[in-house]
Amino acid sequence: MRRNADRLNYNRTLSPVLALSVTLAGCSLAPPGTLEEQAKAERFSTLFEAPPDLDRLARVPPRADWRSVLHRAFLANGELRSAYFEWKAALARIDQAATWPNSNVALSFSYMFSPEQMKAWDRTTIGLGFDPSMNLSLPIKVQTAGLVALDAARQAGEKFRAVKFDIQRKALSMYLDLALTEEKIRIGRQNLALLKLVSESASSRAQAGGPLQDLLKAQIETQMAENELASMEAEAKSMRGQLNGMLARDARAPLSLPPSLPLPRPIAANDAQLIAAAVDQNPELAALARQVEGRRDALELAKLAYFPDIIPSASVTGTLSQAIGAMVMLPTRLPAIRGAIDEADAMAKSSEAMLQQTRSDRAASFVANLYILRNADRQAALYRQRIVPAAEQLVNSSRSEYAAGSIGFAELIDSLRTLITTRRAVAQIRIEREKRLAEIEALAGRDIETIGRIAKTGCDGGRSSCP
């Protein structure tokens, strides 16, 4: 009977102890903004969580436009996948840093042997405290540590965005270079066909007693054009292999582009809005800004080391005694604390200086690319409206005059070269414009269509609430 009573008293006393232990476990003091950052990463989970299956990646259509190539490049790139998991790991470290109590609960048990006539329960001592090998930090310290971890996670998120736009810039540049080469091939084929007609005309004139030099010059020009065309086709094969490699495809896999240059992408925002977006949204600047915030929070965490830590404890010895106590951990390593504060302060100032310099560099680079893009727009309009029509008119006139014997072969060839040079210049300008646009998107950390939408609606294109 007495043993049952002892067991009942033991259970009654132990139950609150276990309940307290369970209550203290798993409490996270994650700072505000954690859920929002986790939601940002969650949007990419369906793309990167599953193991990459190259056979099931987005297939490239028979006529691959830049959008399908870019989509495949994102899914196939291991660096982007790695950046996502680094971001996810940084988010997981928030709970590790913000969990309170930061020390495990220690439950002790002792039993006293004595000849005295005492109940077994009164011989039993149960203690509850925390792991003596690790100080129990004040909640404010844990909250600040969680804030530092959140800053690091946000920095990792900005790194992911920077990698994404860097891949976008590279993929678009490779695609545009291939498109330019194929356009030059089309121009070269048209030029070769025209030279063959001229060569036939020169042959007819030579057979009729005309100058043999014109026929020889026409044959030389034709052979040179054939050689140049073969060289450009070999270059296109090399470019196609490199682009296939970036898309995680066999280098020899077929990759056909549309039969004309990609249309110029429209820009809805003006220059002031583009520059503002570059300054506000540049992923590298955003990552540095998060680093500055993290190091400022790290400085605050270092200052909190001056506060003592308090480790509470409690014990029960049967029905004889109940005791509570606390151990105060005084910060006596003052030189080390001051050193940690000075280090954190220096690192924060270093990040602020780097942020300021990088902001100036990126703003200058953005403006330079914007100038080149606007100049390309101006040149494209000039060539389209005036220079190309004039060159085509010159060739048509020269062919008629050569057939009539009014001009020599040299003048006709000069006219043809002028037209070819003009058409190549137009293609080069259009491709240069699109490449500068890709650079601007990488610097701004946003797609150009998104910048235009923000300029019109004031809505952040990255949010689902945007139209």
pLDDT tens, position by position, 314-359: 778 767 777 787 777 777 777 777 777 777 778 777 777 777 777 7
Of 190-199, 234-243, 277-286, the poorest mean pLDDT is in 277-286
Beta strands 309-317 and 124-130, pairing class:
antiparallel
Sign of torsion, CA 171 173 179 182?
negative
Output the pLDDT for position 279. 66
Q: Residue 1: is its pLDDT beyond 70?
A: no
Report the distance separating Cα 385 and Cα 123, nearest Å: 103
* Overall size of the chain counted in residues: 467
User: Average pLDDT in the 154-173 region?
Assistant: 91
Residue 455 lies in a domain: no
Average pLDDT on 220-245 reads: 91
How far is it, in rounded angstroms, from Cα 116 to Cα 126?
Answer: 20
What DSSP string describes 141-180?
HHHHHHHHHHHHHHHHHHHHHHHHHHHHHHHHHHHHHHHH
Q: In the prediction, which pLDDT does 56 show? A: 63
Q: Cα dist. 347→49, 285, 297, 445 in Å?
A: 35, 17, 11, 26
Residue 99, strand partner residues: 28
Element (H or E) spanning 47, and its range?
A: helix 45-48
Q: Which residues, in sequence order, are CB contacts of 24 under 8 Å at separation 6+?
A: 101, 105
Say what the pLDDT of residue 432 is: 93
Please state the domain count of the chain. 1
What SS3 class is residue 111?
Answer: strand
What is the pLDDT at residue 24? Answer: 52
Rounded Cα distance between 28 and 204, Å, is 91
- Enter the tokens of residue 329: 């951990």
Res 429: pLDDT: 93
The first and second tokens of residue 14, run together, are 């132990």
pLDDT of 9 higher than 70: no
3-class SS of residue 363: helix
Average pLDDT over every residue of 300-321: 75
Q: Would you say residue 111 has pLDDT above 80?
A: no
On the question of pLDDT at 21 being above 60, the answer is no
Q: Which helix (H) or strand (E) holds 324?
A: strand 321-329
Are 313 and 325 in contact, with CB atoms under 8 Å apart? yes
pLDDT at 465: 33
pLDDT at residue 52, as a whole number? 67
Sign, CA dihedral 66-68-71-76, equals negative
- The residue range of the domain holding 239 is 2-263+283-444
Kindly indicate the confidence band of residue 382, based on its pLDDT and cuts at 50, 70 and 90: very high
The pLDDT confidence band at residue 18, using thresholds 50, 70 and 90, is very low
Q: Residue 233: inside a domain, yes or no? A: yes
Sign of CA dihedral 255, 261, 263, 269: positive
Q: Which of 366, 135, 170 lies closest to 271 in space, CA to CA?
A: 366
Average pLDDT over residues 423-433: 92
List the one residue out of 330, 309, 243 whose CA is nearest residue 60. 243
Give a yes or no: residue 251 inside a domain: yes
CA atoms within 13 A on the CB side of 294: 19
Q: What's the pLDDT at 243?
A: 92
Buried b (16+ CB within 10 A) or exposed e, 322-331: eeeeeeeeee
pLDDT band at 195 (very low <50, low <70, confident <90, very high): confident
Q: Is 268 a domain residue?
A: no
Looking at the chain, the whole-number percentage of residues with pLDDT higher than 90 is 21
pLDDT at 2 over 60: no
Greatest extent of the chain over all pairs of C-alpha atoms, in Å:
141
Instruction: Assess whether pLDDT exceeds 80 at residue 63.
Output: yes
Residue-level pLDDT at 57: 66
Q: What is the pLDDT of residue 29?
A: 83
pLDDT digits over 275-299, tens only?
A: 777 666 667 766 767 777 777 777 7
User: pTM to 2 decimals?
Assistant: 0.76
Judge contact between 438 and 173, C-beta under 8 A: yes
- pLDDT of 171 > 90? The answer is yes
**In terms of pLDDT, which residue wins out, 210 or 55?**
210
Average pLDDT over residues 350-370: 77
pLDDT of 452 reads 59
- What's the pLDDT score for residue 453? 60
- The CATH number for 363's domain is 1.20.1600.10
DSSP strand pairing (105-111 vs 309-317): unpaired
Q: Would you give the distance in Å from CA 338 to the centre of its chain?
A: 38
Distance CA 72, CA 85 (A): 19
Domain assignment of residue 452, yes or no: no
Average pLDDT over residues 4-18: 44
458 domain residue, yes or no: no
Beta partners for 111? 124
Token code pair at residue 228: 């140049």
**Domain assignment of residue 213, yes or no:** yes
In the Cβ-directed half-sphere of 310, how many Cα atoms lie within 13 Å? 8
Report CA-CA distances (Å) from 415 to 29, 163, 221, 408, 421. 77, 47, 13, 11, 10
Kindly indicate the confidence band of residue 26, based on its pLDDT and cuts at 50, 70 and 90. low
pLDDT of amino acid 464: 33
- Reading the block at residue 294, the tokens are 């993290």
Distance (Å, rounded) from C-alpha 336 to C-alpha 434? 55
pLDDT of 365 reads: 81
Residue 131 has pLDDT above 50, yes or no: yes
pLDDT at res. 172? 93
The arithmetic mean of pLDDT across residues 42-48, rounded, is: 87
- The answer to the question of residue 465 being in a domain is no
Sheet holding 124-130, edge to edge: 105-111, 124-130, 309-317, 321-329
Decide which of 175 and 363 is more confident: 175
Question: In the prediction, which pLDDT does 458 show?
Answer: 45
Question: Is 237's pLDDT higher than 70?
Answer: yes
